[in-house]
Amino acid sequence: MSSLDQMKRRLRERSELYLLRAAARDLGAGVPGTVAPFSGREGLLWRRLFVPLYRRLPWELKQRAMESLRMTASGWTPPERRPREPWRPPRPS
């Protein structure tokens, strides 16, 4: 495995871990039955830098970045996304 592949694997593994932890912390806060997740000292850069930066970017940009880094699957037919008008609420009568 090339060092680029290793880097991509680590990027995916670490980013998933810290993004999930941050999402769980935010969504679970105050919800009955939940506790605060374990918070270790490791991953300071991921928690303080990567997560807030990632969250600021729009989804389309994140998708494009993942595609250009070749982190999405190739050799597969993506699901059909038929062009369709965005949904709009009915006009008030």
Which tokens in the block code for residue 21? 């932890």
- Give the separation between CA 70 and CA 79, rounded to whole angstroms: 18
Could you give the angle at the alpha carbon of 55 between the alpha carbons of 83 and 41, nearest 5°? 145
Residue number with CB closer to other proteins (3 or 33)? 33
Between residue 65 and residue 84, which ones bind other proteins under the rule CB under 8 A? 66, 71-82, 84
Residue number with CB closer to other proteins (3 or 78)? 78
| Residues binding other proteins: number (CB under 8 A) | 51
At closest approach, how far in Å is the CB of 71 from other proteins? 6
